[in-house]
Amino acid sequence: MIRIANGQGFWGDWLEAPVRLIEQGPIDYLCLDYLAEITMSILQKQKQADPSLGYARDFPPLIGRIAKRMLDGNVRVIANAGGVNPVACAEAVRKAAPGIKVAVVLGDDVFGRIDEFVAKGYKMADMDTGEPIAAIRGRIQSANAYIGAFPLAEALSTGANVVIAGRSTDTALALAPMVHHFGWSATDWDKLAAGTIAGHIIECGAQCTGGNCQVDWQNIPDMANIGYPIVEAEPDGTFVVTKHAGTGGRVHSDVVKEQLLYELGDPKNYITPDCVADFTTIHLDDIGPDHVRVSGIRGRERPATLKLSISYENGWKSTGTLVYSWPQALEKARAADKIVRGRLASLGLHFDEIYTEFCGVNACHGPVAQACPDPPEVQVRIGVRSADRKAVDRFTRELIPLVLNGPPGATGFGDGRPPVREIVAYWSALVPREEIRTSVEVLG
Amino acid sequence: MKVPLSKIAHTRSGDKGDTCNIGVIAYDARHYPVLVREVTPQRVKSFFGGLVQGKVERFELPNLGALNFLLHDSLGGGGTLSLRIDAQGKTFGAALLGIEIDIEERSQ
C-alpha cells in the first residue's frame, strides 16, 4: 500500500495544507495541483515580462519549508507547478532546497509548434464550438498538451525527490506514483481508470474531506483545521480515501459522491491521456470513521489524440459595484443601472455586453431566486466587455459619480474605480498523440 | 406528496467552459428511482428558465444513486469571458434544491 496525498487544489489554495500533510502523519507521495485552464496564460504573460518566471511562484518556497521532512520521511512531491517554464521552476527549487533532487518533465509546451500543426493539416477546431483555429491564430498566448501519468512515472523512476511538470492533467499527479510503484502497464485499463478516479477525488483538495459539502455542513467538525485528502492505494487498483487522524473535516461516502460528480461530463466516458474511466462502475463503502473504500472500477483504452489547452486574447472587461440601502434599495439600484447605461450610450461607446446583477436579490440564481420584498440593502454589480480597452476604461469612471448625482443612499465606493482586466479565453483542441514527445531532465 | 428536492438529495455544481454541471445525489439510495422519474432534463431546463440558453443533458449513475446534468450555454460565456458573479456555476446546485418533486413511490 502507498499513501498519496493532495495538498493543493489550485494555485491559491491553503498554504498550510501541504505542510500539515507532511507534518501530521505518514504519507509517501504529496501531489500539488497548481494549474487551472487559464493559469497557463497568466504564467505566459509573466514569462514574457521576465524570462526567469512563468511558473507557480509559491512552489519553491514551499519545498524550502518542507525539504527536511521530505528527506527524513522519504516523501516525494509531484506537482504541475512548472507552468510554461518548468526548468526555471526546478532551478528555483534547487536554490530554495539545495539537497533536493528534481526531475522535470518537458514536451507539453507546443506554443512554437502551432504553425507546424496547421501545415500538417490538423484542424484544431475548438472542442466546444467547432470554430477553426484560424479564428484566433494571431491572438494565441500559450498552447500546451495535457500529458498523462506515464511521463511523470518516468520522472519518478530517476529517484528524484521532486517531480515538476507543466500542463499535466490533474488526475495524472496521483496516478503517476501508482504506475511507478506498482509497475502498472500502459494497457492495464481498469487499474489506470481506478488511479485516475482516485486522482479525480483528491484533485480539488478538501472538497472530498468536508469542504464545500452540503451534507450536514453545520456539524462537520473543526473546519479550521480541515485535513486534506490521502488515498491509500493497493496494487490491485482498489483504494481507501482518508485524512490524517486528529484533523478536522469529514470523509464519508456522501462527501466523496459530491466530489465524484464535480465538473463531471459523461460519466461512462471520462477521457484522459491514460485511459477512459467509467464512473458508473465505482463502488463505495464506508469502512470506518473517515475511511471510504473505493472498488470495482473499470476502464477502457486511451484515446489516439491528446487535448491541447490554448489561451488567447479576447478583449477587455471590468465589473463595478455600488450598495444601496433601505428603503426601496432595489428600486434605487435599478435606477442607478439605468442611468449608467444611458450615460454610456450617450458617450457613443460600444460594448459587446453590459450585464447587471443585484447582489442580495438575484445575482446567484437569476430568475430562480425567491422574491424578497424591500430588502435592507442591495449591491448593484455592473459588468462590461469590449474589444475596445478605452471604452471599458471609460465605464470604470461612471459608477462613483452616482453617489452624488444618482438615487439617494449609495455607498460602498471606498475601493475606488474598478480595474480593467484583459480577457484571456480558453480554446481546447485535439492533435494525434504521437505529436507530443515528452522527456525528463534531472537537476541535482 | 410534493417536497423540495433538498428533502431527499444533495447537489454539487461546477463548470466546463460555458456549460454548468450539477450532480444530484440521493441521501437514501431508495429514492434514486424518484430522482430519475421527477428530475428530468425538461424540468431542469424549465426550472432555470432564461439562465440556461442551451439544452440540458442528463446522465445516470445508479451505482452512486446520482444523476449528472449538463446545462449548456448557461454561464454567460463561461470562464474568463463571463461577467456574472457566479461565472463557474458554483451555486447552481443549491438553486436546484428548491425544485418541487413528488416523492410518492409508484409501481412502474
Assigned C-alpha cell, A196: 485516475
Q: If pLDDT is split at 50, 70 and 90, which confidence band does A252 have? A: very high
What is the per-residue pLDDT for B107? Answer: 60
SS3 A377: strand
Q: Which residues of B touch A206 (CB under 8 A)?
A: none
Q: What is the pLDDT of residue A414?
A: 84
Q: Which residue has the cell 501545415?
A: A119
Chain B partners within 8 Å of A369 (Cβ): 95
Band of pLDDT at residue A135, cut at 50, 70 and 90:
very high
> Is B29 inside any structural domain?
yes
State the complex-level ipTM.
0.97
Q: Report the run of H or E that residue A314 belongs to, with start and end.
A: strand A305-325
Domain presence at residue B108 = no
| Amino acid A330: pLDDT | 97
Judged by CB atoms closer than 8 Å, whether chains meet at B14 and A128 is answered as: no
- CB–CB contacts below 8 A, A to B: 131
pLDDT recorded at residue B108: 52
Asked if pLDDT for residue A37 goes beyond 80, the answer is no
Selecting from A214, A260, A424 the residue whose C-beta is nearest the C-beta of B80 gives A424
Residue A400 has pLDDT above 90, yes or no: yes
pLDDT grade for B104, boundaries at 50, 70 and 90:
confident
- Checking if the pLDDT of A170 tops 80, the result is yes
**In a domain? residue B107:** no
Q: Which residue has the higher pLDDT, A355 or A128?
A: A355
CB proximity B41 to A under 8 Å = no
Backbone angles phi, psi at A331, to 5 degrees: -65, -40
What is the DSSP code string of B3-24?
EEGGGTEEEEEEEETTEEEEEE
Best of A264, A283, A337, A428 to disrupt the B interface (most B CBs within 10 Å) is A264
User: What is the rounded average pLDDT of the residues B62-75?
Assistant: 98
- Mean per-residue pLDDT of chain A: 96
Pairing of strands A102-106, A162-164: parallel
CB A71, CB A48: distance < 8 Å: no
Mean pLDDT value of segment A192-211: 98
> Phi, psi at residue A196, to the nearest 5°?
-65, -45
Q: What is the pLDDT of residues B2-27, one digit of tens each?
A: 999 999 999 999 999 999 999 999 99
- Between CA A85 and CA A239 the distance in angstroms is 34
Tell me, what's the pLDDT at A433? Answer: 97
Instruction: From chain B, pick out residues whose CB is under 8 angstroms from the CB of A278.
Output: none
Q: Which residue of B has its CA nearest to A41?
A: B80
Domain boundaries, chain A: 2-108+146-303, 315-423
With a pLDDT cut of 70, the percent of chain A lying above it is 100
Residue B3 to residues A90, A213, B99, B104, Cα–Cα distance (Å): 56, 22, 8, 10
Cβ of B83 and A254 within 8 Å?
Answer: no
Region of A219 (left: φ > 0; alpha: ψ -120 to 50; beta: rest) is alpha
Is position B37 within any domain? Answer: yes
- Inform me whether the pLDDT recorded for A15 exceeds 70: yes
**What total of structural domains would you count in chain B?**
1
Q: What is the pLDDT of residues A203-237, one digit of tens each?
A: 999 999 999 999 999 999 999 999 999 999 999 99
Report the residue of chain A nearest B65, measured CA to CA.
A257
Please tell me the distance in Å from B7's CA to the nearest CA on chain A: 11
Write out pLDDT tens, residues A261-312.
999 999 999 999 999 999 999 999 999 999 999 999 999 999 999 999 999 9
Q: How many angstroms away from the CA of A102 is the closest CA of chain B?
A: 33
pLDDT digits (tens, 9 = 90+) for A90-124: 999 999 999 999 999 999 999 999 999 999 999 99
Which CATH code fits A315-423? Answer: 3.30.300
- Asked if the Cβ–Cβ distance from A370 to B49 is below 8 Å, we say no
Quote the strand ranges of A336-438, DSSP E.
353-359, 377-386, 410-411, 421-432
**Residue B71 within a domain:** yes
Q: Which residues of A touch B4 (CB under 8 A)?
A: none
Is beta strand A76-79 parallel, antiparallel or unpaired with respect to A162-164?
parallel
Contact residues, chain B, for A260 at CB < 8 Å: 23, 64, 66
C-alpha cell at A145: 498538451
pLDDT at B34: 97
CATH classification of the domain holding B48: 3.30.70
Three-state helix/strand/coil letters over A162-199 = EEECCCECHHHHHHHHHHHHHCCCCCCHHHHHHHHHHH
> Dihedral, CA atoms, B51, B52, B58, B59, nearest 10 degrees?
-80
Range of the domain at B54: 2-78+86-102
Residue A140 grid cell? 494565441
Report yes or no: B23 at the A interface, CB cutoff 8 Å: yes
**Backbone angles phi and psi of A374, in degrees to 5:** 45, 65
Are the beta carbons of B25 and A383 separated by less than 8 Å? no
For residue A244, what are the contacts with CB-CB under 8 A and spacing of at least 6? A20, A21, A24, A25, A227, A230
Query: Do B11 and A319 make contact, defined as CB atoms within 8 angstroms?
Result: no
Among chain B residues, the shortest Cα distance to A368 is held by B48
